[in-house]
Amino acid sequence: MSEAVWITGIGLASSLGEGVEVHRMALREAGLRPVVDETGFAPFPIHPMPALAFDAQIPKKGDQRQMEPWQRLGTYAAGLALDHAGARGLVGDMHLLVAAGGGERDVALDEAICAELAALPPEEAGALLNERLANGLRPTLFLAQLSNLLAGNISIVHGVTGSSRTFMGEEAAGAEAVRIAAARLAEGRGEVALVGGAYVAGRWDMLLLFSTSGGLWRGPWAPLAERPGGGMVTGSIGAFLVLETERHARARGARGLALLGAARRGAARRRGEDSARASAAALAEGLALRPGHAVISGASGAPEALAEERAFLASLAGAGPVRFTADLLGHGVEASFPASLALGALAIAEGLAAQALVTGFGLWRGEALAMLEEA
């Protein structure tokens, strides 16, 4: 017997601000101008970190100091989700599934090492590189960059002590975390789970990495519909969801924001017939989509992915209005799919749609679909 899975709590912090209300208003305002920093990392625009009172969710002494910005953002958003669901008393039996990337690099150290290496012949550069890395990277800094420390920080700060899993793999990690969390609950292997991820856009190391593949948009911000050749604008996002079986939620008198009817993920190579569009179409098979269903698109905006997403959306029969998460919040990589699900659940809860299809198309791989309905 399969258990119905509800979304009962949303923790969302983005460049727009924090919490449900600000993002609910953003969904309702069709012509919303997002918060964008076009100068700090020029020529690449980004959606910056919001000003958050981290003390409200994370003890100031000790816990905050050893976290990188993306870990603070994720831990904060996780606390918002627990509060929104009224689930603080459930953390002892709550599963934790986190999507996380690598830690933030020490860019100043990288620059200093590269400047030294540039003047040396290859046979001398290797030895100097090892020496500088050994002396420059303190053990505490190395430990802070472990991806599973986001889950560890959430467990320590919020007391979530059920099973814990961390997923890596960019956009696919966020989709897989949601898929596994929902599957565990539906199969009766738990009653409540906390799932999500976090990403901070203001990082030169990641911007330079993405730019080498031609994936980033350059110049003044423009919505996805006005980026003919595509291009990502990354966003700072912390997004967590409390997932709960319907039976468990009803027993404690919790409200279901939306029913998570399906969560599926693929990983097309995007060559020839193995395209992202074909992968998404296969994922959509069997979904009972009704005419007029809303679409919350998690398209990254990367050129090839955007073209595939557009082709897939054009193939959907009876699709209603489409909202792009990247237009509102930017593209949050690991946090992108949980954030799109959060927006979809808000649209359902607010009566903006009776059914929503949430999509995800990663930079170079990782397609995902989820169907949300009224709980």
pLDDT score recorded for residue 1: 58
Domains and CATH numbers, the chain: 5-104+145-373 (3.40.47.10), 107-142 (no CATH)
pLDDT score recorded for residue 121: 85
Q: What is the distance between the alpha carbons of residues 144 and 134, in angstroms, rounded to a whole number?
A: 16
Q: What is the distance between the alpha carbons of residues 275 and 270, in angstroms, rounded to a whole number?
A: 4
pLDDT score recorded for residue 145: 54
Secondary structure element (H or E) that encloses residue 8, with its range: strand 5-14
Looking only at the bridges linking them, the beta strands covering 367-373 and 258-266 are antiparallel
Q: What is the distance between the alpha carbons of residues 263 and 329, in angstroms, rounded to a whole number?
A: 22
The amino acid sitting at 189 is R
pLDDT score recorded for residue 140: 47
DSSP string, 206-274: HHHHHHHTT-B--SS---GGG-TT--B-BB-EEEEEEEEEHHHHHHTTPPPSEEEEEEEEE----BTTB
Question: What pairs with residue 240 in β-bridges?
Answer: 11, 196
**Angle subtended by helix axes 204-212 and 107-118, to nearest 10:** 60
Tokens representing 223? 């919505």
- Averages of pLDDT over runs of 10 residues in the chain (375 residues) are 93 97 91 92 96 89 73 96 98 96 75 82 83 66 65 94 91 96 96 97 90 91 91 97 98 97 87 77 91 94 84 88 94 97 97 95 89 96
